Chains A and B, each alone.
Chain A
């Protein structure tokens, strides 16, 4: 609930035909567009427009974790900072984290912590930054969905993409993806983040009033939406890199039989010790280049 607005009169958020104030049906998402690789400095980035939301996500890492005492000797930390720009809401928000931002940062960090291959990078941190430039309810879901793309764009090894969507209840009807008015005047809001391939829920919050059945309906709506979000995420990543397989393979040739010669070492696989099943093996060496 970004803004507390003054309730002026009875507002009919959804009419008898199941049409909402912005014309949507109960199970329709607002228009969404995602673009990957929009910033130069960050290791990975993505921009999302979701209804009236405009959110930028960026990733640095893995990089050395600072200060030293927070480093985990066995794995990478996954730290997200969610922040709203002062001009992103109707009533200017003072710069700096407030308690709401701190909480959202924490739950998003935890969501990504579940999919990043942390054990590959001990003592480092994967830093995720989410900046809300314009807010229209559902910013944490928009931010998380964009951040997932930013992580993939940065090449951070992870087991899957994550997408998030909120469902809620307005006028007694369970609906997908509440906008600002619906969030402010509705009866419940339940943001959820899902790991694409497995359907695991890695973020779940709820406020308001829902019966068990209503919650189930809300969850189904959000899970369905996550599938559609995944397609947008995948398309954004593919668009960023238009490629031909042939050319990649031609210039990065297939491996020769091990052990590789230093002089003309190609893309040679090296038998990696250690668990192959849990974590992805590391990339091979392409050989030094001298005079």
Chain B
């Protein structure tokens, strides 16, 4: 609709539908959009995946190089995640340095991957204190229809899972698959008045008063969380979101694993 605002009329309509457990695209409140993942999309990257969640479309590339470790973690590899709101993805994205929104999404995606120990960064040490593998996760948003937290995370996870460490080019032996040991799945909720909707599309996201992202691993344990926007959640709502994340996580995980 209008590029920036959701009309009052549509707000009322979306809320009315949601009160009956329905959404504009026919989904239930706890139902994510269709997720498709295409691995090894880009040959110049060590790993890559194009992920589409409904009409939100991102391409994630993994680049690896070697370098010095951080001084406080001298024998582990380095992970760095960034996200670009490419102007072609939405009339509201402008070229320029990353906005706080983009930085927040990148950091939350990063947290889910890092804290779940998806990539065993201890195995990415080449020579302690001197040389480690540096892993860049670049999320390139191509088409925007809401919920970059989840699709950014799904793209990154699928890309990491198909990454080959370019050891040969660095004279460090044969190439080997990036050691992936855990599977974080991010699930994001939008709160509209007293109702909570999973995987908000663009209009729902623009109407949301509060937002919650919960990242769980394959055991259902919580690895990362982020509450956003200026509204609030009750403790019960948070608990329900976590439970739903565990359940939906189990449905989504196989798609990311490529099975």
Contact = CB atoms under 8 A, between A and B. Distances in A.
Q: Do chains A and B touch in the complex (CB under 8 A)?
A: yes
A56 B44 contact: no
A85 B59 contact: yes
A165 B136 CA distance: 32
B138 A56 contact: no
A81 B140 contact: no
Contacts of A63: 91
Interface stretch (B80-88, B113-121, B182-190): B80-88
Contact of A39 (B44, B95, B136, B143): B143
Interface stretch (A91-99, A167-175, A212-220): A91-99
Interface stretch (B61-69, B173-181, B217-225, B228-236): B61-69
Contacts of A54: 41-42
A115 interface: no
A129 B143 contact: no
Contacts of A113: none
B45 interface: yes
Contacts of B142: 39, 56, 131
A85 B95 CA distance: 13
A85 B136 CA distance: 12
B89 interface: yes
A83 B86 contact: yes
A86 B86 contact: no
A41 B62 contact: no
Task: Tell me the dominant secondary structure on chain B's binding face.
Answer: mixed
Contacts of B42: 54, 85, 87-88, 133-134
Contacts of B62: 87
A41 B89 CA distance: 6
A129 B44 contact: no
A81 B95 contact: yes
Given A52-B43, A88-B44, A40 B55 contact: yes
Nearest to A42: B88
Contacts of B138: 85-87, 92, 95
Among B59, B88, B140, max chain A CB count under 10 A is at: B88
A56 B84 CA distance: 15
Contact of A131 (B44, B65, B86): B86
A41 B82 contact: no
B144 A131 contact: no
Interface string B139-158: 01011110000000000000
Interface in A74-119: 81, 83, 85-92, 95-97
A133 B143 contact: no
A92 B97 CA distance: 18
B90 interface: yes
A88 B46 CA distance: 11
B91 A41 contact: yes
A131 B19 CA distance: 41
A128 to B, nearest CB: 9
Contacts of B41: 54, 133
Nearest to A45: B88
Contacts of B43: 52, 134
B48 interface: yes
A89 B45 CA distance: 7
A182 B237 CA distance: 60
Contact of B91 (A45, A52, A60, A92): A60
Nearest to B97: A96
Interface in B16-71: 41-45, 48, 55, 57, 59, 61-63, 65
21 contacts: A39-B142, A41-B89, A41-B91, A41-B145, A42-B88, A83-B86, A85-B42, A85-B59, A85-B84, A85-B138, A86-B136, A86-B138, A87-B42, A87-B44, A87-B45, A87-B136, A87-B140, A90-B44, A95-B98, A131-B142, A133-B140
Interface of A: 39-42, 45, 52, 54, 56, 58, 60, 63, 81, 83, 85-92, 95-97, 127, 129, 131, 133-135
